[in-house]
Amino acid sequence: MEEGKYAKELDVAVRVVHMACSLCQRVQQKLVSSSDDGHVKSKDDDSPVTVADWSVQATVSLMLSETLVENLSIVAEEDVQTLTKADSEGLLAAVVNTVNECLAEAPKFGLQSPPRALGTSQILEAISRCSSNGGPAGRYWVLDPVDGTLGFVRGDQYAVALALIEDGKVVLGVLGCPNYPLKKELLNYPQNYNQTKSKTSLSTTATWEKGCVMYARRDGGGAWMQPLIHGDRMLEWPNSATQIWVSPIVDPALATVCEPVERANSNHSFTSGLAETVGLSRTQPMRVHSMVKYAAIARGDAEIFMKFARAGYKEKIWDHAAGVIIIEEAGGVVTDAGGRPLDFSRGVFLENLDRGIIACSNAILHEKIVDAVYASWDSSNL
């Protein structure tokens, strides 16, 4: 890794996210190949949470605290309330086992394993210490251990997202996308990843490779992508990294639009009407779970992501921090619907968000979308 500010932090973060992706792949394979849903729980808002969510949070917490010599502050999505209930003994045991399996593989990613397997109390403590509330001052990490858990349990797209915020500004971001194809031609939107072209129709195994980690640091020389490692291979970094850029398309009629899959927290009807106003492609939008939408724009596979939340829903910082900096360092633009930068300094929520979020591959498309929002908003039923 090149030297400079945040170089060490980024080096560790990328390696840890690689570890987390490996963990998630193992858990997802078990989930989709088994009818046992005992390792999937529902939160108070009815969204799912799995063994992978808690296991990734514990692993990232442990590896960051052991590798970076500082008093770590971490904002993350999960807590231990469900895990510590009397009827969750089997779930907790699965988390402990999953974390220890992952930690044992740390040397493959250039990190150090603990000298012995960790106990239940140590892993619960690692999850619980991710309880920072963020804010405008100081340094803290922001983690979404499995962004897009619904896609994860369906065998579809999801992401592991880790960012570092300093004095309210995102200074580095890492986005692991274990099911995202390395070749754009394998994307078959709007169908999910498992319905893409048959592996047997491809000429080489390499062409089929899926899974990548994208990363960037503020003013750190662009955005980069590495393939995930498989089997017994060792992580070679930065030799395996390639730089990524946003798409050069500026004609709305040629642009690919990303939307959230789930309608519960998003106003798809307003987005659809807005797309028509701007003259975006009439083809079906790319609807994909999680921050994979940010990855698609950063890599040039799509040009626009719009999300307009339904009344009462508040965006969380862990759902956007890593993706925003990666798109920006790849040459794109991310703001709220009024054209203002997203404010990550107000705690765990993106407070004072103007109507929604707009991410574009370039300023020309972004300006057209923002202008259309102002023109269309009064007539919407948001």
Place of tokens 């779930």: 91
53 given a catalytic annotation:
yes
Active-site option among 50, 59, 67, 149: 149
* Of 224, 52, 23, 75, the residue nearest 152 (C-alpha): 52
C-alpha to C-alpha distance for 220 and 145, rounded to whole angstroms: 24
pTM of the shown model: 0.91
Render each residue's pLDDT in the chain as its tens digit; 382 residues: 457 889 999 999 999 999 999 999 999 998 887 765 657 777 665 567 899 999 999 999 999 999 996 789 999 999 999 999 998 999 999 999 999 999 999 999 999 999 999 999 999 999 999 999 999 999 999 999 999 998 999 899 999 999 999 999 999 999 999 999 987 777 654 444 444 433 334 444 444 578 999 999 997 789 999 999 988 899 987 778 999 999 999 999 999 988 777 766 666 677 777 877 888 866 667 878 899 999 999 999 999 998 887 778 899 999 999 999 999 999 999 999 999 999 999 999 999 999 899 999 999 999 999 998 888 765 444 4
Q: What is the 3-state secondary structure (H, E, C) of 164-220?
A: EEECCEEEEEEEEEEEEECCHHHCCCCCCHHHCCCHHHCCCCHHHCEEEEEEEECCC
| Crossing angle of the two packed helices 120-128 and 89-104, in degrees rounded to 10 | 90
Active-site option among 50, 53, 59, 67: 53
* Residue 178 pLDDT: 96
* Residue 209 pLDDT: 78
Alpha-carbon dihedral 323, 324, 329, 333, rounded to 10 degrees: 130
* Residue 206 pLDDT: 45
Place of tokens 């395996």: 240
* Residue 260 pLDDT: 76
* Residue 46 pLDDT: 54
Sheet holding 286-287, edge to edge: 286-287, 257-259, 304-307, 357-360, 333-336
* Residue 311 pLDDT: 77
149 given a catalytic annotation:
yes
One-letter amino acid identity for 254? L
C-alpha to C-alpha distance for 323 and 163, rounded to whole angstroms: 9
